[in-house]
Structure 1
């Protein structure tokens, strides 16, 4: 769901603003910083603008048990900055609202009450159902006065009603076509225990488990697990690059190779095993990247290696095996400087990525395609 347009009651309904998924940071534009040069996440967050803060909260929300999380900030967001959907029915089912306020101070009742009125009017207008949970997310938290009511549904209802009904209330114009009596009756009947806060330390701690954390804050990547050993028999995922390997061996040695033949062969057996180890290492790096860095980082690394070896690949070679050896040697010597995976990139990953590219026929060792 990239855009939500929920029609409400009568002419008062306004379509929801476009809703955005977690941002994809530029895979080439970041790298872990030396620890003595990097600011803490809290310090970096203090320099954020409103949009960056909402994006950070959106990324954090992916750590929670939602089917989908989305950001909605804009002129017609109806008080929903970040939404977490507990079911495929989106706003029609259970959902949680996160109101993001990047202020230089703790929040006051005057900061919170207009947002609560927005969600009341949004519900009355049919833009969404009443949220299951509503949390204010602010770097400096909430002040003493707001803290005294936000965690007490009874007090919050009473204080909000007073703020709406007082003379020259700034909240009354927000009610739109809904009468004061309608809104007060709604407040009296609806569940106000949904309101609360999420603290900065909670956000940062949970965000550390997301794939965006290292890129956003320039911190070290998590420890990379050791790759698995190759299986005894090649898997389905290995068939294409292994077919290319066997074709190159056959071209060099003049006989038709199978995988068992290559494994036992006195001249190519060790080479064949090294290529499989390298492929498994690159595949493990792909999985690590999926969980530890922004989407596109591993693909960018593959593209850098393809760009760096393609001229070597296209030059004339005596046979397919020589082309393979020269291409993997070129990959091992490439000066890649801008990818966030560099701190955990091993030499054999570069060779393995060449075989991943061969799996996709972006590299081919022999002129004729393997059967």
Structure 2
């Protein structure tokens, strides 16, 4: 058995398609970083909410809470079903025209400690400052957690921030004690380039940013031995050959020796693996559903052609393959990569899933 054995895709995934807009030409398209820099605070928080799940697969839920009364939480990532009462991470989003500095960050940290003391949530495991740019004084502060804690405590004792001054004396003392006991290494910045690279792994990337031209990997070549993952469509082809050429081509061994059936089988396997290459490319490059959309487009026409009356399964197969070559595909970001050989291969993927049949039961096509 070849190590290139395939696993056919059974059932239909719910497509999360990225449709292409009108075929317009633009002289210049801003980079993703420049687009993010132009977001308003609300859109920036939504972008962060999309990015956070790419960081930690252990998050059970990611929730945007920014707005009035958020107690210093913009995006909360929960590590357990206990939510804010269990382990969680806070992603504090700051979208300003200027770089985020220490003074602003210190105010957010004070708000966070006050929220813990007031019982709004437990201390987060990690507190991540998310901003398009960071001032040097903040980067330096976050790189020296011990010194920064001392600096924060000094400022806390003198602050006129209402978040602190409206607390009772006991509550202010609790805030100071909590800050003194906290490892300030929990406060970290995130680099925008790294953030964009991680966001690129999410399904939302292609819905948010212009799609870039990607290099499709080389087409897979069929292995010498048939894989178990291609058994169903190969069995259907064997029936087609046996129906047309009878006992001269009713086994794989005889088909391989047949002057026409052998070459035909080789071409169909090449097409199947071409489509499999497209499926894997789509799986790795785009959100779920794009290859299935191509399958559905081809099936929509192929099933109608296949329902016509044919003398032989061979005739039905040829008619369906011809129709697949001219099917109008939904204009998704994947369409530009679909080759004629892929279209033929999709027909065999559909046969592999039992969605198309070439020979009718009873021998009458």
For the aligned pair, the TM-score class normalised by the smaller chain equals 0.7 to 0.9
Displacement of 1:185 in angstroms is 0.9
Asked whether the 8 Å contact 2:221–2:270 carries over to 1, the reply is yes
Asked whether the 8 Å contact 2:52–2:62 carries over to 1, the reply is no
Asked whether the 8 Å contact 1:117–1:175 carries over to 2, the reply is no
Change (3 A) 1:241 1:100: farther
Aligned residue number for residue 4 of structure 1: none
1:27 aligns with 2:17: yes
Which stretch of the first structure deviates more once superposed, 232-241 or 49-58?
49-58
1:194 aligns with 2:186: yes
Aligned residue number for residue 30 of structure 2: 39
1:317 aligns with 2:310: yes
1:1-371 matches, within 5 Å, as 26-30=16-20, 36-50=27-41, 52-57=43-48, 60-61=51-52, 64=55, 66-68=57-59, 70-74=61-65, 79=73, 81=75, 83=77, 97-109=90-102, 111-117=104-110, 119-120=112-113, 125=119, 127=121, 130-131=124-125, 133-139=126-132, 141-162=133-154, 164-166=156-158, 168-172=160-164, 179-208=171-200, 212-255=204-247, 257-368=250-361
Which stretch of the first structure deviates more once superposed, 114-123 or 264-273?
114-123
Structure 2: tracts of 5 or more residues without a match: 1-13
Measure, in 2, the Cα distance between the counterparts of 1:265 and 1:74.
Answer: 68
Measure, in 2, the Cα distance between the counterparts of 1:310 and 1:147.
Answer: 61
Deviations 1:197-250 (A, max 9, x none): 112222234445666545532232431211322122211111111112212222
Q: Secondary structure at the match of 1:179?
A: helix
Asked whether the 8 Å contact 1:107–1:146 carries over to 2, the reply is yes
Displacement of 1:343 in angstroms is 2.3
Measure, in 1, the Cα distance between the counterparts of 2:237 and 2:165.
Answer: 73
Displacement of 1:175 in angstroms is 6.8
Measure, in 2, the Cα distance between the counterparts of 1:117 and 1:52.
Answer: 25
Which stretch of the first structure deviates more once superposed, 30-39 or 181-190?
30-39
Measure, in 2, the Cα distance between the counterparts of 1:80 and 1:185.
Answer: 25
Using the size of structure 2 for normalisation, the TM-score is: 0.78
Deviations 1:11-63 (A, max 9, x none): xxxxxxxxxxxxx9941424798674432112222343556434544554565
Which stretch of the first structure deviates more once superposed, 119-128 or 239-248?
119-128
Asked whether the 8 Å contact 1:241–1:356 carries over to 2, the reply is yes
Deviations 1:300-320 (A, max 9, x none): 222222223332222222222
Change (3 A) 1:363 1:119: farther
Query: How many residue pairs are counted as aligned between the two chains?
Result: 344
Structure 1: tracts of 5 or more residues without a match: 1-23
Displacement of 1:188 in angstroms is 0.5
Q: Secondary structure at the match of 1:157?
A: helix
Q: Secondary structure at the match of 2:185?
A: coil
Aligned-pair Cα RMSD in Å? 3.8
Asked whether the 8 Å contact 2:153–2:180 carries over to 1, the reply is no
Change (3 A) 1:203 1:261: same
Measure, in 1, the Cα distance between the counterparts of 2:155 and 2:304.
Answer: 71
Measure, in 2, the Cα distance between the counterparts of 1:73 and 1:82.
Answer: 6
Displacement of 1:276 in angstroms is 0.9
Deviations 1:277-320 (A, max 9, x none): 11112112212112111122222222222223332222222222
Measure, in 1, the Cα distance between the counterparts of 2:304 and 2:187.
Answer: 60
Asked whether the 8 Å contact 1:82–1:98 carries over to 2, the reply is yes
Report the structure number with the largest CA radius of gyration: 2
